[in-house]
Structure 1
């Protein structure tokens, strides 16, 4: 399965920018290379537009007046990202690295005539994505002249719009760690990130303002948060502080405090990619102005060759003329730095045949005039080999009495958004994914979730050009109304203790997610078990809020769940939220489990098919157990290359396979117990993919929630190695049992008892400063905390020489905190029921 670019990368094409590292303060730099077609539409701010400012820097020629602290090779404790100046765009950028802090400060000599109790400090900022994900804060800061602390206001920009906030905070020092920030006031608000190393994304006008004892945060001219500060506090604008949030800055300004100002509001359309087809017309696009005059706003068609623009009263429509990517700019006439840009993609015209060529079609599913469950995929099997095109669509019409029909769903080629989950709880997982993909000679088409209703009849039409035959010059002319591809949706099944999923239609549901949606929307515990018939189920999954559920396949090699998902496609670990058009929040895992009491997984496999590669963020969990509840896994397989298992709460894995190659067992857990499993390290598809051997990586990264939590415990497991996706093997002695996150909030509690290790494990065992990794927390392991090991052997059962181990502790028999698995369960899962592990006879 091949993914196209993420849709954010379609908003503005990738620029050929020559980013120049800022070598000296105020240095004159040469212009960079030409940017992409739409880049020059960004309305540049000039300090001449704001003559009342006491201090202003718009980076037209240099960055004078700023003292730079961040550098690629910064001293320990300092921010080690890169500050870069782009003369072509007249902006200052910061590319975040692993350590944050103050990036630069304003030279105090620039603040002549400054009033410490009546001022604003603002900037026009575009945040964009990083290569790492766990720190995300960006503040404008004010120095408290009477102490070492800073007051700050700005963004906590998550990798999803659902996890972002605006914050007023206190930093105890210039190089405050992210975990030390004291938040005074915050407000959840969707904030959109640009793509990593691209020039798309949303620009935000951010302001921190003081009037008397009130400190306020403004976004796009509107006050959104405030706090009272102690009387007599003396504050002056300091600079910009970031912890792992890359951004681009258009200008900084300091001046006398001012009231709320004009804001252009496009509602949910802001920074979405609006798509339409050649020769068709858009729906009405409304806009409004907050705290300003709508007559001050110009609506400008930036690409009139692609579409015409018909204006109404604070609304407009588009008539699409020809394919391409364009934009509409809404901009203040008197304050050009106040603007919103709507990005538009015009797709080639759709064509549906009046007469369908049936000789091109081998089979249809659902078969015409059949009845199926609402979670059905559509399957179109062709008579010959084909490849999927970049454009085209499938349309679903609901048929009414009298022969009328209504378009209810349009499924496009490429990446789309889908939201699935619990309608009763209004908790949905939203992700970007292809809704049309290929499997041999079969085209698979997934209707958007929730579009098909029980008891209704639907007709399918497929546009010409959606696919291309590979051995025939004859073109695919599509499927029209005359083909009669129509089907009816069956009523939901009766809620009962056991329900079945089967791809062939012999069960209660055709998809696993269809069954999980049904379970989540049932009151009480009517469904106790979901059984999965043999087959390959190509789908992402989400389970929320159930008290107890068993999901059981017919064998790990028989009932297989696969999907391709990863951080650059769907950023963040993910949570369920209410639906927000155009925005994803479902994260990078295949199966996301949130807030369950007890989940039992048996006899199935979950494989995240993403193959690691350069230039993207490759975190890609197979399973994310995001719950304080309990998870039991028996006789199952989990495979991914990076971050395979992300575990919270309490879990127990028994006689299963867990495979990956980077931090592939990790999490902010209480207890994760592994007994009699194979922990398989895979060859690395990024490092030396074509060589016989590649360097190994790290198996574990414990982020256990407290010192007294048991953390990760491994008893009687086999740690093996195996070729990776490109066929290379792990170089002997190059894999480490664990590395630390290096943050005081997380505890590195890992205990190994009587495990067998293959020769891919380094003699050192645990990674630390010798490997350019942090020391564990605690640095010195005790008998109940830290990295510990006892009874390790090779795969043949021979005792290992552990004399070269570093950063961990080899325990003596009398120091063991537990005698066996039963001892662990008695202490930390006392109500565990062993019968949950047994297989019950069940007939499908």
Structure 2
């Protein structure tokens, strides 16, 4: 969505109301954009998906046009979707230009093909949503794919689509150049009815299923299975994602006891290119988008951008307990750029209380660069891969056990001589924080030997304050300025990329090591399973001799959950 200088106030109202879609149902179709005169007998309908006239299209369908050669998105013109009665439900403005009069000044990212989404919009149980920038048009080979704003279509409803002739260049269906799609009959479809099950749905990008997108399924579960929806609070719910690549920004709020299963660990890929400069901030839900301006530069000032509030992760989860992901790949595809802030999470689990807030990841690939996983609450990761380079496991958990997993450092193209830092722990006083049980620390090609550190501190010393006071029932460990450096490695294989000193001490951590807190390791091993030499290890701020038997099983790590009732997760 573009906020033009001449109509910034009106456009901002449109954002607050729902991001280009018409929620009142009163907007009537404008005069259609003229199209080029077609050759007799030639129709564009053969190049469209959903097929024109489709009567069982998906509520979360993507719009696809297949050209005779690679098309070009020109950065000019609009895409509009109407109900069959002429009510406008969505508009995508592909035109570049300045946004927010006197405000947004960045040009490094470009403003063309950029819209503001309200993820979760239209979900009846929500009062807060995820607001983010996204790219609505994607071109791969001869196919142009258009992603509408989230959840703007309804079940069992008829629609027609209009696309200005100026939006695309390229031959299509017998036309030498894209003729545009106008009128009320050029591209029509009807969506199918809602799923019948309220506890189990499937997602498939190209086959028979309940939804085409992961967010479509999440929106459904937030509607029928939210924490305030009676039986939906406790009923076990499952989303099954079939093999395919699902390129989406995702949001889940106030849903408990939900498992998301992939068809295969390598074949089911959920991904997005989202990062700090594109969507500034760690993220959170809001009733309306934030309009604060943030400079997008890292070491260089590259201009200002709206901090909408939805943040830089692929998946934002809030307020959920017993959320499980299993057997697929999640990836933030952003490639770091030294000229701008490239923090980019795969998951931000933003749920922190002492008697809920449980997250499980089993047989997963979590692949990113900086800040791959940002976690709170109580987290168990098992038999999985976590890849990244700088603080790629971090956050504010009461306890997070990473068991029988591979933590892989990848090369940082913006700092090729550095191997980065694996952890930045910001856990609550009196709780285990991060515990790595077995598994291995590995590295990808390009990571220099001896260049990776086990952890670094955030640098805000809370001695005499937060780090001397234990959290109490109902308290949150989510304050970004208050944290303790609690991290333990137990029986972990460490490869040659790990620095001899082990721990990065500039700035120094907030706690000195002991059996119950601080930076610690016990029984560290070489990749072949022999005892790892501790020669050169920092022994002031890190310990390799502390007794860690109180943390050497997942049951012990999570013993304090729910007032010492404890939690022992299982695959």
TM range (shorter): 0.7 to 0.9
Alignment correspondent of 1:363: 47
Which runs of 5 or more structure 1 residues have no equivalent in the other structure? Answer: 1-5, 13-264, 274-348, 689-693, 724-728, 838-844
Check whether the contact 1:620–1:644 (CA below 8 A) recurs between aligned residues.
Answer: yes
Q: Match for 2:150 among 429, 445, 449? A: 449
**Cα–Cα, structure 1 residues 597 and 473, in superposed 2: closer, same or farther, change >3 Å?**
closer
The equivalent residue for 1:468 is 169
Corresponding residue of 2:361: 633
Structure 1 residue aligned with 2:557, among 815, 824, 828? 824
Distance 2:555 2:548 in 1: 18
The answer (yes or no) to whether the contact 1:360–1:382 under 8 Å persists in 2 is no
Q: Quick one: distance in 1 between partners of 2:130 and 2:38?
A: 37
Matched, 1:389 2:74: yes
Q: Please point out which of 406, 413, 433 is paired with 2:87.
A: 406
Deviation at 1:482, TM superposition (A): 7.8
Tell me if the contact between 1:368 and 1:484 (Cα under 8 Å) persists in the aligned partners: yes
User: CA 1:672–1:484 in 2, change beyond 3 Å: closer, same or farther?
Assistant: same
Verify: 1:701 aligned to 2:424, yes or no: yes
CA shift, 1:609, in A, is 1.0
* Distance in 2, Cα, partners of 1:374 & 1:661: 38
Task: Kindly indicate whether residue 502 of structure 2 is the aligned counterpart of residue 765 of structure 1.
Answer: yes
Match in the other structure for 2:339? 615
Instruction: Tell me, yes or no, if structure 1 residue 680 matches structure 2 residue 408.
Output: yes
Within a 5 Å distance, the mapping from 1:374-385 to structure 2 comes to 374-385=59-70
Structure 2 partner of 1:809: 542
1:735 to 449, 452, 455: 452
| Alpha-carbon offset, residue 730 of structure 1 | 0.8
Q: Distance in 2 between matches of 1:591 and 1:659?
A: 16
Q: Name the SS of the counterpart of 1:557 in structure 2.
A: coil
Q: How far apart, in 1, do the equivalents of 2:213 and 2:424 lie?
A: 33
Paired residues of 2:384 and 2:406 also in contact (CA < 8 A): yes
Deviation at 1:412, TM superposition (A): 2.3
SS at match of 2:515: coil
For 2:187, the equivalent position in structure 1 comes to 485
Match of 2:488 in 1: 751
Determine whether 1:512 maps to 2:211: no
Contact 1:380–1:442 (CA<8 Å) still a contact in 2? yes
The 3 A distance-change label for structure 1 pair 266 and 499 is closer
Contact 1:356 1:479 in 2 (8 A): no
Alignment of structure 1 residues 435-446 onto 2, 5 Å: 435-446=136-147
CA offsets, 1:674-705, max 9 Å, x none? 001110100012124xxxxx321111100112
Cα separation, 1, equivalents of 2:290 and 2:556: 50
Q: Does 1:603 align with 2:327?
A: yes
1:534–1:560 Cα contact (<8 Å) kept: yes
Contact 1:361 1:382 in 2 (8 A): no
Q: How does 1:80-479 map to 2 (within 5 A)?
A: 269=12, 351-353=33-35, 355-356=37-38, 358=42, 363-370=47-54, 371-400=56-85, 405-413=86-94, 414-421=113-120, 422-469=123-170, 474-479=176-181
CA contact (8 A) 1:350 1:392 kept: no
Q: Counterpart of 1:788 in 2: which secondary structure?
A: strand
Distance in 2, Cα, partners of 1:615 & 1:387: 28
Pick closer, same or farther for the CA change 1:359–1:805 going to 2, 3 Å: farther
Q: What is the deviation of 1:269?
A: 3.8
Corresponding position of 1:577: 286
Residues 179-220 of structure 1, C-alpha deviations (whole Å, 9 max, x = no match)? xxxxxxxxxxxxxxxxxxxxxxxxxxxxxxxxxxxxxxxxxx
Greater per-residue strand proportion: 1
Q: Distance in 1 between matches of 2:89 and 2:199?
A: 33
Taking structure 1 as the reference length, what is the TM-score of the superposition?
0.54
Q: Deviations over 1:226-263 (max 9, x none)?
A: xxxxxxxxxxxxxxxxxxxxxxxxxxxxxxxxxxxxxx
Q: Matched residue of 1:518: which SS? A: helix
- 1:7/1:393 CA distance change after superposition, 3 Å: closer
- Partner residue of 1:157? none
**1:533, distance to aligned residue in structure 2 (A):** 1.1
CA RMSD of superposed structures (Å): 2.9
Q: Aligned residue for 2:302?
A: none
CA contact (8 A) 1:544 1:594 kept: yes
Q: Distance in 1 between matches of 2:236 and 2:556?
A: 32
Instruction: Tell me how far apart the structure 2 counterparts of residues 774 and 520 of structure 1 sit (CA, whole Å).
Output: 42
> 1:408/1:442 Cα in 2 relative to 1: closer, same or farther (>3 Å)?
same
Q: Is 1:395–1:460's contact at 8 Å kept on the other side of the alignment?
A: yes
Supply the distance in 2 between the matched residues of 1:440 and 1:359 (Cα, whole angstroms).
21
Give SS of 2:219's match. helix
Q: Which structure's relative contact order is higher, taking Cα pairs within 8 Å and 6+ residues apart?
A: 2
- Are residue 648 (structure 1) and residue 373 (structure 2) matched? no
| Alpha-carbon distance, 1:272 to partner | 8.8
Counterparts in 2 of 1:387 and 1:394: CA distance versus 1, 3 Å = same
Q: Would you say the 8 A contact 2:67–2:171 is kept in 1?
A: no
> Structure 1 residues 397, 562: CA separation in 2 closer, same or farther (over 3 Å shift)?
same
Please say if residues 781 and 809 of structure 1, whose CA atoms lie closer than 8 Å, have aligned partners that are also in contact.
Answer: yes
How far did residue 439 of structure 1 move? 2.1
Contact 1:355 1:480 in 2 (8 A): no
Shift of 1:803: 2.2
